[in-house]
Amino acid sequence: MEIWRLPISASQRGKLISSGYTSLSSLSSISSSDLARELKVSESEAMNILKVASHSRGSETSNASCSIVEGAQSAWDMLHDEESLMHITTSSADLDNILGGGIHCKEVTEIGWSSLSLIVNSVLKYKLTTAFSSESIIFMLIGGVPGIGKTQLGIQIAVNVQIPNDFGGLGGKAIYIDTEGSFMVERAFQIAEACIEDMSEYNRFLRKDFQECKIKMLPQDILENIFYFRICSYTEQIALINYLDKFLSEHKDVKVIVVDSVTFHFRQDFDDMALRTRVLSGMALKLMNLAKRFSLAVVLLNQVTTKHTEASFQLALALGDSWSHTCTNRIVLYWNGNERYAYIDKSPSLRSASAAYSVTARGIRNSSSSCKRIKMM
C-alpha cells in the first residue's frame, strides 16, 4: 500500500483508501476534478494530493546513472569538500586544538557539564593526532552548570564567526536564539571590542613591513551582524525553528546558529513525555537539515540534571537519552579544581580529549595555569 509513503494528512489518506486508491499508479491517470468529486474534497486539496503523488513517482523515473539516488555524494567527493571548509575559532588555542581547528559548519554540537567522577584519572601521553587534525566539529551540543561559561562561549562564537576571511575567519553573520534571557549586550560589546583589538594586534604583528591597514570594523558592526531572537515558550521555539528556513534563504551569509539554551522550555510544565520526545527529535532533525542545506554550524547549549542510578546521584545532561542520541557532537564543560575544562564526549571523527580554558574580561581565552597540556582520554 504505497499511499502510506505520501506525506499527506490522515483524513486525506483515509478518504483515498476508502475510495480504492491504494497505490500511486492508480493516481496517475485521474484529473484533479474527478478526484475532488470522488473523495468529496475541494479541488485545491485534490490538486495537492496529485502533486505530491506525482513528485514521488517522478523520483522513480528520473534514475540518473551517475548517482544511485538523487543528492547522494560519494565519500571521495565529501573528503575533498571537507578539506576546504573553514572553522570558527573559539579564541582559546587549546580548545581549538581538541576541536580540530574550531567549530565547523554542517554539523550540530552540544556542550554540557559532567561531574569529575566520570573523567578517568589515567592521563595518556599527549600525542599528535595527525589523523584527526584536519577535521572539525559542526553540530555541537554544549552543556554545563550555570557559571561554567556556556553563555560566554556562545557569545564568543557569535562574535568570532564574523572575523573576516583575511584573518582566517568565516566573515559570516550569527543567529542567537535566547530562551533564558542570559544574553547581555554590554558583554557582547566588550567581547567584540577585544576581538577587534586582537585582530589589529595580529595585523600589526604580521604586516610589519607593509603600511598598517586599519581594521575597518567597529564593535557596533559586529553587534549588528548578530540576529537575536528571544523565545518565551516552547511553541515559540518550534515556530522559530520552522521559520528559520525562510530566514536563512533570505540571509545567506549567516554561518552559525547558537541556541541558549535549547532545553529551558522543555523542562517545566511538560506533562506528556512522549510529546516532548517527539517534538525534540523533530526539532533536532530540522536543525540538522538547516545545518546541512545552508552549510552552517549549529551550537546548542544545554543544562544539567541529576540522575538517580543505583543509589547514587549523577549529573547528566538534561532531556535524556533520546536527545543525547540526536546530536552529532557533544562537549562537556566541567570544573577541575579551580579551572574550567572542556571535554569531548561524543564525536564521529575526533578523539576524546579535554582542554582547559578560562573566561576573562576579553572573552574565552586559554587557561593561564602552568599545566597547559591537552589531556587525551
Partner 1 sequence: MARLANLETEYPVLDSTVRNFCASHGIFSVEDFLIHDLYMLAAFAEQNDSSERLKEGIAQVLSIIDDMHQPWLNGMELLEDAKRNKHVFPTGIQGIDLLLGDGIHVGQLTELVGPSSSGKTQVCLRTASNVARNHMVLYLDTGNSFSPQRIAYFLGKTISPSSAQAKNQFLQKVMSNISCHSVFDIFAMFDVLHQLESYLRCQDGRGGCQMRLLIVDSISSLISPVLGSSSTLGRALMTSAGYLLKKLAHQHNLAVLIINHTVGGEGGSSKPALGDSWKCIPHSRLFLSCDRGSNTYNVSILRHPSMASGKAARFVI
Q: Which of residues 118-177 bind partner 1 (CB under 8 A)?
A: 118-120, 122, 131-132, 134-135, 138-139
Q: Per-residue x/- mask for partner 1, residues 62 to 81, rule CB under 8 A?
A: -x---xxxxxxxxxx-xx--
Q: How far is the CB of 207 from partner 1 (least distance, A)?
A: 34
Positions in 23-42 near partner 1 (CB under 8 A): 23, 25-26, 29
Q: How far is the CB of 125 from partner 1 (least distance, A)?
A: 14
Regarding 252 and contact with partner 1 (CB under 8 A), the answer is no
Question: How many Å apart are CA 296 and CA 328, to the nearest integer?
Answer: 14
Positions in 89-118 near partner 1 (CB under 8 A): 106-108, 118
Widest pairwise Cα distance in the chain:
81
Positions in 273-302 near partner 1 (CB under 8 A): 274-275, 277-279, 281-282, 284-286, 288-289, 291-292
Nearer to partner 1, 173 or 276 (CB): 276
Give every CB contact of residue 239 below 8 A, 6+ residues apart in sequence.
none
3 state SS of 255: strand
Query: How many CA atoms lie less than 13 Å away from 57 in the CB half-sphere?
Result: 15
Q: Per-residue x/- mask for partner 1, residues 303 to 322, rule CB under 8 A?
A: -----xxx---------xxx
Residue 294: Cβ within 10 Å count: 19
- 85-119 burial, b for 16+ CB within 10 Å, e for fewer? bbbbbbbbebbbebbbbbbbbbbbbbbbbbbeeeb
Regarding 48 and contact with partner 1 (CB under 8 A), the answer is no
Nearer to partner 1, 87 or 330 (CB): 330
Please report where in the chains the cell 518565551 appears, as a residue: 232
Q: Do residues 196 and 222 lie in contact, with contact meaning Cβ atoms separated by under 8 Å?
A: yes
Site for partner 1 (CB under 8 A): which residue of 6, 145, 238, 248?
A: 6
Q: Per-residue x/- mask for partner 1, residues 183 to 222, rule CB under 8 A?
A: ----------------------------------------
Nearer to partner 1, 196 or 318 (CB): 318
Q: How far is CA 329 from CA 80, 98, 106, 281, 344, in A?
A: 21, 13, 12, 15, 8
